[in-house]
Amino acid sequence: MSEGTIPAALDEAAERFAAREALVDGEVRLTYAELARRARQAARFFEGHERVAICSPNTWHWVVAGLGALYAGATLIPVNTRFTARETIDVLERAEVSALAITGTFLGTDRLADLGTSLPRTVLRIPVEGTEDPVDGVAEWEVLAGLDSDFVSRVEPGDVSDILFTSGTTGRSKGAMSSHRQVLSVAEAWADCGGLTAEDRYLVINPFFHSFGYKAGIVAAVLRGATMLPQRTFDVRETLRLIESERITVLPGAPTIYQVLLDAPERADHDLSSLRLAVTGAATVPVTLVERMRKELSLDTVLTAYGLTEAVVATMSRPEDDAELVANYCGRATAGFEVKLGEHDEVLLRGPNVMLGYLDDPEATAKAVDADGWLHTGDVGVLNERGYLKIVDRIKDMYVCGGFNVYPAEIEQVLSRLDGVAESAVVGVPDERLGEVGKAFVRTRPGAELSTEDVLAYCKAELANYKIPRFVDFVAELPRNLSGKVLKRVLREENG
């Protein structure tokens, strides 16, 4: 097996950190030697498949299945667990997925059953909420235990390791492709900035379907021999319990997570002194929040970072940076990236870790990455004299809800299919807990009668929960410029 691959990194971790805890999830405690063995069993299950998708919350099963798929030489397709069946099927079909590891019941919804007959030829069910009735043609998780773990990976550093789907402003999702070499490089840079070591115990709240949870989580931990503790969903009481009982040292997440932790009445009842590192981003980070995190959560180091699916981690602050710099700037270039400002002060990125391109979409790839190799991010920024980047606005209409990117065009396309809607415009408006939430401005067709409840119910059936607007305004007209384009800036200013 060639060096510079995720399977090679796992093999090295199994050798260097054999007896150290790699993965802790409830009663399940796997050493690095055990994790590697189980990943090879999963590789045997996925052998021969070119693309493997995983749709499951953060559990030890995701880590084993994901590393197993990569070990087998397959390209990994993480699927957002908040996607509706329609959104999930779209990803599976466009990526031509032939094997799927998926949870059954999770948060009251049977994800597997919702897909109906739209399943790949090979399906592995992940037991998240207990045992469930057998399903014809669906393998149960227990079958992995009987498989041979003597598996030799034949992955090359330049092979496509994963495709992460991200929506664009057109509303059509795009699959950003990365190689094994690139994933390891950005994970190593993240680990370097945070000083991650084998002594760390890393509570992974960021979803594994997101690069923050998968690449800066699983892969970074494997590279350094840190212990991973996945949390299925963020629950402040459970988070506080885990920090104390498992002596958590590393706790990355969206600013919302720290705000909720700081304001939790139960916080004073828990010993949080083990915490040393927090890494945040994805939204505005107030200086007072950074100061409170350092003072009240006993954190030695608070870092902010900037990245996107097409580049993962492009800039990151450093441990020596002061609170004001960390809060106002998202660090300086890392992982071999160059950063500069283009037309309209758009943030441009170039380097060996810019995505390989979008799956089956050369036109979108050429639009995103120019002939000189610069990735056009769509974000407006400022660079200080030390090369630190501040994001001040978005050229795109995207907003961030609870750490998740939301693209209004996708919501508007869904609303256009609701009977009675003539047109709509969606913008992000400030929210104290989530950073931003959606507000939909809807113009109805003559004679149509729609209520706020009608609009929200329709969105709930068609969209992941973080994409659902929290507010609906019915308007007679939408503000437009002379060319007829809706002026979202006006809508945001009126609701800021």
**Domain boundary pick from 179, 197, 218:** 179
Answer with the one of 179, 204, 226 that is the final residue of a domain: 179
Residue 392 sits in which domain range?
A: 234-396
For residue 214, tell me if it sits in a domain: no
Q: How far is residue 156's CA from residue 4's CA, in Å, rounded to a whole number?
A: 8
- Domain membership flag for residue 412: yes
127 and 9 in a single domain? The answer is yes
CA 305, CA 313: separation in Å to the nearest integer? 7
- Identify whether 221 is part of a domain: no
Q: What is the pLDDT of residue 401?
A: 93
250 and 375, same domain (yes or no)? yes
CATH of the domain at 390: 3.40.50.12780
- Residue 195 domain-assigned (yes or no): no
**400, 283 Cβ separation under 8 angstroms:** yes
Question: Would you give the distance in Å from CA 471 to the centre of its chain?
Answer: 25
Predicted confidence pLDDT, tens digits, the chain (496 residues): 347 999 999 999 999 999 999 999 999 999 999 999 999 999 999 999 999 999 999 999 999 999 999 999 999 999 988 888 998 999 999 999 999 999 998 888 899 999 999 999 999 999 998 778 889 999 999 999 999 999 999 999 999 999 999 854 345 679 999 999 999 999 999 999 999 999 999 999 999 999 999 999 999 999 999 999 999 999 999 999 999 999 999 999 988 789 889 988 899 999 999 999 999 875 457 677 888 898 899 899 999 999 999 999 999 999 999 888 988 899 999 999 999 999 988 999 999 999 999 999 999 999 999 999 999 998 888 999 999 998 876 677 778 999 998 878 789 888 988 999 888 999 999 999 999 999 999 989 888 899 999 999 999 999 999 999 999 999 998 887 544 567 888 888 877 5
Check residue 149 and give its pLDDT: 93
Residues 385 and 404 in one domain: no
Residues 304 and 371 in one domain: yes
Encoded amino acid at 319, one letter = P
Q: Is residue 186 part of a domain?
A: no
CB of 335 closer than 8 Å to CB of 354: no
Quote the number of domains for the chain: 3
The reply to whether 374 and 411 lie within a common domain is no
How confident is the model at residue 172, as a pLDDT?
A: 66
Q: Within a domain: residue 431?
A: yes
One-letter amino acid of 87: E
pLDDT of residue 2: 45
Residue 38 host element (H or E): helix 32-46
- Tell me if 436 sits within 8 A of 496, measured CB to CB: no
Same-domain pairing of 110 and 8? yes
Same domain, 80 and 32: yes
b/e per residue 7-18 (b: at least 16 CB within 10 A): bbbbbbbbeebe
Q: Determine, yes or no, domain membership for 210.
A: no
Long-range contacts of 288-294 (CB under 8 A, 24+ apart): 289/255, 289/258, 289/259, 289/262, 289/327, 290/323, 290/326, 290/327, 291/323, 292/262, 293/258, 293/262, 294/323
The confidence score (pLDDT) of residue 138 equals: 96
Would you say 69 and 76 are in contact if contact means Cβ atoms under 8 Å apart?
Answer: yes
In angstroms, the CA 151 to CA 172 distance is: 38
| Listed residue (14, 173, 244) closest to 229, CA to CA | 244
Q: Is the pTM of this model over 0.75?
A: yes
Alpha carbon distance 175, 358 (integer Å): 5
Bridge partners of 103, per DSSP, are: 126
**Where do runs of H (alpha helix) occur along 369-472?**
408-416, 452-462
Are 376 and 418 part of one and the same domain? no
Considering the domain architecture, whether residues 34 and 161 belong to the same structural domain is answered as yes
The residue behind tokens 């009675």 is: 420
Q: Is the distance from CB of 312 to CB of 306 less than 8 angstroms?
A: no
- What pLDDT digit, counting tens, does each position of 179-235 carry? 999 999 999 999 999 999 999 999 999 999 999 999 999 999 999 999 999 999 999
- Angle subtended by helix axes 60-71 and 6-16, to nearest 10: 120
Residue 97: give its domain's CATH number: 3.40.50.980
pLDDT score at 482: 45
Q: Answer yes or no: are the C-beta atoms of 180 and 165 closer than 8 Å.
A: no
Same domain, 317 and 243: yes
54 within a domain of the structure (yes/no): yes
Q: What is the CATH number of the domain that holds 457?
A: 3.30.300.30
Instruction: Answer yes or no: are the C-beta atoms of 466 and 82 closer than 8 Å.
Output: yes
Which residues does 111 contact at the CB level (< 8 Å), separation at least 6?
55, 81, 88, 102, 103, 104, 105
Q: Write the CB contacts of 149 (distance below 8 Å, at least 6 apart in sequence).
A: 37, 38, 40, 41, 44
Two tokens, residue 461 = 């059936």
Distance CA 12, CA 68 (A): 15
- Where do the DSSP E strands lie in 365-418? 375-383, 389-394, 399-401, 404-406
* Location of structure tokens 């190689």: 179
Beta carbons within 10 angstroms of residue 288's beta carbon: 10
Coil, helix or strand at residue 399:
strand
The 10s digit of each residue's pLDDT in 320-366 is 998 889 888 999 999 999 999 999 889 999 999 999 999 999 999 99
**In terms of Cα–Cα distance, which of 6, 23, 33, 22 is closest to 231?**
23
CA distance 294 to 302: 7
Last residue of a domain, one of 352, 367, 396: 396
Residues 36 and 123 in one domain: yes
Looking at the structure, do residues 415 and 367 belong to the same domain, yes or no?
no
Element (H, E) at 175: strand 173-179
